[in-house]
Amino acid sequence: MEDIKIRVSSSVVGFEQRAMKTWGLEKWKGWTDNNASVVFFGLYTKHDYDAFLRHKGKKIVFWCGSDILNLQGNYDSRRVLKLFPETEHYCENEVEAEGLRRAGLNPIIVPSFLDDVNLPITFKPSETPHIFSCGHDKREEEYGAGIVERIADTVHYATFHIYGIDKDSVFFTKEHKNVIYHGRVPEAQFKEEISHYQCGLRTNDHDGMSEVQMRNILHGGYPITKIKYDKIWNYTTDQELVDLIEKLKLVKEPNIEGREHYQKILNKFPFVK
């Protein structure tokens, strides 16, 4: 069997252990593994590109999201990649793929989920659905807090749970009883709480395959994203999002079709053991 290692960028090092476990790969040890095939998980920093440039074995890149935006604005990074046209490039959706094509690369789209794809079905229908999202302070609009604040009164029957953003760190002019800012919580608590929510909301214009929609759909829920994905509800405008939340009220059964679709296609990389 081919000797394949993984090198995770320091910018996304929090995913290292999960990527190694889910994909069955050992950590790249540096120049002692110079003949191994290496999956470069994210190319963000100069150190990442230096390692990519110096490695002698087969190179495989898994693009994470914002590293693609960095690449588009960096001539030196694009130049390094073009030195190795045989490199395999993987990303998770058409938005990412188009960005990589504009940088002169030919990516393959394979969605991933760095956990067990056989999560239990926990979805229960509700006319007062709970919707969750994850974000970062100072990037509230990008990660959905802005649109949630705009539509909260319109869909007053729904409750929005925003993780990763502290209400005290942002400014909003009106208090909404149906918008809850959880801030940062332990991972186990997060997984337990969101497993009971009907919808995961992802509002990013540029993004990888977020755990928000994947955990939700694998639990039998009905995620909503701004980026288009197969078997996932998609919106463009605030009103379209409102309409989908209205639709969510009427759902009576778990999303078995969407769940089974992603169970079949997640992590189907040729390098996964």
Token reading at 239? 């009103």
**Over its length of 273 residues, how does the chain's per-residue pLDDT go in tens digits?**
478 999 999 999 999 999 999 999 999 998 888 889 999 999 999 999 999 999 999 999 999 999 999 998 899 999 999 999 999 999 999 999 999 999 999 999 999 999 999 999 999 999 999 999 998 777 777 777 889 999 999 999 999 999 998 877 665 656 889 999 999 999 999 999 999 999 999 999 999 999 999 999 999 999 999 999 999 999 999 999 999 999 999 999 999 999 999 999 999 999 997
- Say how many C-beta atoms besides its own lie within 10 A of residue 100's C-beta: 22
State the maximum Cα–Cα separation within the chain, in Å, rounded to a whole number. Answer: 59
- Mean of per-residue pLDDT scores for the chain: 93
Cα(199)–Cα(190) distance, rounded to whole angstroms? 14
| Residue 28 identity | W
Cα(59)–Cα(45) distance, rounded to whole angstroms? 17
* CATH fold label, 4-109: Rossmann fold (3.40.50)
C-alpha of 156 from chain center: 28
pLDDT tens digits, one per residue of 215-269: 999 999 999 999 999 999 999 999 999 999 999 999 999 999 999 999 999 999 9
Domains 4-109 and 130-262 share a fold: yes
Q: Give the H or E element holding residue 202.
A: strand 199-202
pLDDT tens digits, one per residue of 135-150: 877 777 777 788 999 9
Domain regions of the chain by residue span: 4-109, 130-262
The model's pTM is 0.92
Cα(194)–Cα(132) distance, rounded to whole angstroms? 7
Class of domain 130-262: alpha beta
Q: What is the dihedral of CA 69, 71, 75, 80, to 10 degrees?
A: 180
C-alpha of 44 from chain center: 16
Cα(57)–Cα(114) distance, rounded to whole angstroms? 25
| Residue 124 identity | K
Radius of gyration of the chain from its Cα atoms, rounded to whole angstroms: 20
Beta-strand relationship, 224-225 and 233-234: parallel
Q: What is the dihedral of CA 126, 253, 250, 211, to 10 degrees?
A: 70
